[in-house]
Amino acid sequence: MTSLLELKNVSRSFGGIHAVRDVSLTLEQGKIIGLIGPNGAGKSTLVNVITGVHPPQQGEILFRGQHIEGLKPYQVASKGIARTFQVVQPFPEMTVLENVMAGALFAARKQSLHQAKDSAMAQLEFTGLASYANRPASELTLAFRKKLELAKSLAMEPKLLLLDEVNAGLNSAEVNQALELIRGIAKQGVTIVIIEHLLKVVFTLCDQIAVLHQGQLIANDTPKKIVEDPQVVSAYLGARFAEKHGVVHE
Ligand SMILES: Nc1ncnc2c1ncn2[C@@H]1O[C@H](COP(=O)(O)OP(=O)(O)OP(=O)(O)O)[C@@H](O)[C@H]1O
Ligand SMILES: [Mg+2]
């Protein structure tokens, strides 16, 4: 069976900074995959590389067996890959509904404005934003802007959804709500990559965890194996986390 997404030796630099270095990674359909690593490890860059925002300078990216490296962001979206942004920037003067419609139209699978509106309304219902549909996006709190970002990406009807720190800045009740939403999305058969610093979220939600450090993939395994990986512990998780989880290293 063809993998949903396959990265082969993908690299991306900015000047002298090797943000993503020779990353090879395979994602299977129907999984929730965590992408973790320290600040500046290259997580957001990897999402930008996949989605055509910062195309790779080297390597190949195959989505459902088709090459997508070099495609423009709207073309990647129309293939079925949607993403949220780490820094959420809705169009502030547009309504919440219009923002989500923009998402639907960006992926360009909708034939008409009417269809885009129906799809957008369905996602506003799903994310709990329906009552804000006609309010300007600028009025939303951070937690609601994050939901808007989710609704917008879901309106693209993705097969693969890349979530860049959707929980950052949320309180624990809001995080729990977001987790329920993410589980609901996964249940619909959408494969999810979640970039997340909240380890509790990553370790409860994910089937697979990929770890980036200084642009390189240093581990890619089940959560159970990841907490025992000495390289991951030293690069990111730290001794205290390992101790708490019963991992002992020399
Ligand atoms: N557009 C850009 N121009 C120049 N340098 C960039 C650009 N985007 C990312 N970088 C650099 O690439 C490296 C990786 O950044 P990236 O944002 O991918 O890290 P990250 O793992 O998402 O970090 P964080 O957890 O802080 O969000 C950093 O050194 C960053 O400064
Ligand atoms: Mg980032």
- Ligand 1 atom nearest to 86, measured from its CA: 27
Is 142 close to ligand 1, i.e. is its CB under 6 Å away? no
Q: Domain coordinates of the chain in residue numbers?
A: 1-80+159-250, 90-157
Q: What is the pLDDT of residue 250?
A: 44
223 lines ligand 1 (CB under 6 A): no
Pocket lining: 48 vs ligand 1, CB cutoff 6 Å? no
pLDDT digits (tens, 9 = 90+) for 130-175: 999 999 999 999 999 999 999 999 999 999 999 999 998 899 999 9
CA distance 220 to 115: 39
Distance CA 68, CA 70 (A): 6
| Closest ligand (CA of 84) | 2
Phi/psi class of residue 185: alpha, beta or left (left: φ > 0; alpha: ψ in -120 to 50)?
alpha
Give the pLDDT of residue 57: 97
User: Residue 237 pLDDT more than 70?
Assistant: yes
* Structure-model confidence comparison of residues 111 and 7, the more confident one: 7
Architecture of domain 1-80+159-250: 3-Layer(aba) Sandwich (3.40)
Mean pLDDT across 20-26 = 98
**pLDDT at 90 exceeding the cut of 90:** no
- Percent of the chain predicted with pLDDT > 70: 94
- Which pLDDT value is given to residue 200? 87
Cα 10 from Cα 76, distance rounded (Å): 17
CA 29 vs CA 2, 10, 78: distances in Å: 9, 20, 18
pLDDT of the residue at 112 = 86
Best residue for ligand 1 mutational test, from 10, 12, 14 (most atoms within 8 Å of Cβ): 14
The pLDDT value recorded for residue 238 is: 85
Q: Is the Cβ atom of 13 under 6 angstroms away from ligand 1?
A: no
Ligand 1 mean position, distance from CA 215 (Å): 9
SS3 content of the chain, % helix, strand, coil (to 5): 40, 25, 35
Q: Looking at the predicted structure, is the pLDDT value of residue 49 above 60?
A: yes
pLDDT score of 230 more than 70: yes
CA-based nearest residue to 216, from 27, 42, 76: 42
Q: Is residue 104's pLDDT more than 70?
A: yes
Q: What is the pLDDT of residues 175-228, one digit of tens each?
A: 999 999 999 999 999 999 999 989 889 998 999 999 999 999 999 999 999 999
Top-confidence residue, 82 or 240: 82
Whether residue 17 has its Cβ less than 6 Å from ligand 1 = yes
